[in-house]
Structure 1
Amino acid sequence: MLESSKSGTAPAYPFAVGAIQGCIISDGQLDLGTPEKVFLGETKQSVEQVLASNFLPTEQIVVDQNILFFSLGNTNVLVETGVGSFTGFGQGAGKLVQNLIAAGIEPAQINAILCSHPHPDHVGGLCQADGRPTFPNASIYLAEHDFHYWTDEALLDSWAAAAIRVARANLLPLRERLIFIRDGEEFLPGVMAHFTPGHTAEHICFELRAGTDALFLLGDLAHHAVLSLENPLLTFAADLEPATAAKTRTRVLSTLAAEQTRVLGYHFPWPGLGHIAKQGAGFRFIPEPIHW
């Protein structure tokens, strides 16, 4: 079923968690804007200094979207769906479907979609521009409170209007396929939901477990592999509850570092697999070697 991608932004990168086999598919990259508009709480100069010292561009914050595909018996699972037809982050994203097909995976083969939260770069690919479901045979797993909040018609005139429109366009047509999951629930065999509030009220980090192996999916717990880790108290502009997000981020990263848990960073440089290590008052991401 899985083949090497011959087109698109990146090939399908194979991975395994115990007996769970899958691959990481790119939806492309997001242009989030200038550093001072994306990360708040520090001076423009200090943020640029951290970027420069890590040999990263200082003009724009560009991040990846690493989407996980794996199979559990006859159930084919996708974690997040990318931006779809939403162009609010530039023209470098929205490539999930073409990259899935290039990897030998048809959208109709997907049975389950896990959404960490209903922001455009996570649920934007659920439906096509004409409203048809991109994945016609899939159930969608997410948190109930976040669903109701991000599809609330009353917020269409708020600061979050663009995100609300995308969530409504992609989730409301699929209302009968939504499955609400709870914190700590093993809702699929070997797949756990961990509520990590702050970015949204019920943001979910998923965890895959198979035997003694585990993979923790960061979602939007940390948006940047350097800035979000070196200073976990740094506010990301789209965090709904910044103080809660910082507290949650610090707590979870501390646990991941102490337990040496393998992680997947959704917005980290492709393919996003690695580990979190303690570094001074913060952390650092150590990408694992790529194996083909």
Structure 2
Amino acid sequence: MAIGLVVAGRSSRLPIATLAGIASVTAIGLADDLSGGLDPRLRLAVQAVSGAAFAPSAAFAPMGSVITAGVVNVVNFMDGINGMTGSTAAVWGVATLLSGRADRDALLQVVGAITAGAGVGFLPWNAPTAHLFLGDVGSYLFGALMAAGITHVAATPSKGWVITAPLLPYGLDAAQALVRRWRAGHSLTEAHREHVYQRLVDDHGLSHAQVSAMHAGIASLIAAATRTMRPAAGVASAAALACGYVLLPVIAQTKTFAGQASCDWARNYGAQCGAETL
């Protein structure tokens, strides 16, 4: 975080309301870790009140509450493999810092720099081998920082899109996991392994580092597309990249099936397949 503040420059100060909101969300995350599980309604209430504090005006307070509850919980849901949240925070933070510099927006610069600095600083402790974990306190902190930045520009949809877009794979991954569980008749509140990143690790044998790097690369491409392309092209590119990420398990399954079918065909004609030739 200290590195982030240095990068942000001399105006490295956040409004008291923003600081209080970030601190409150982080504190409720810490309390949840220490207690073994707080009432979800209490956590949601704190997130909602803090989100209202992030809003640029009273008119946007309800939107801030919804944004903050959504972002904080999505980040918490997605913090399931080594390197995932740290790398995503780094990508989002850099993208937000650059947007803040381009628009001369001090709050975006500070929030972006802190998020990027904290993400990069945490990665060596969490990837490729985890020596430390974020817990709820860490994921809530990152979620609150992101929510503060997104809510800050809620009055300007074009800016809001640029700030939110790098988190699109996160949001779609969380959404598809909930849909899969709902369709299967499973509880939406119980722990599960339905996320894209979990299926890539569990079902397709990819390492935590590979999946986290893949996700960070896609988020980086989305950030670049929304900053450099015309609006329509940027939206289309971001949507295509995010959907491509969500479909990775399907693509991997199809490739596996095709490879197995090829091997079966080869064996039928007396040929050897893949590692069998070694």
TM more than 0.5: no
Which has the larger helix fraction? Answer: 2
Which has the larger strand fraction? Answer: 1
Query: Rg: which structure is higher?
Result: 2
- Higher RCO (CA 8 Å, separation ≥ 6 residues): 2
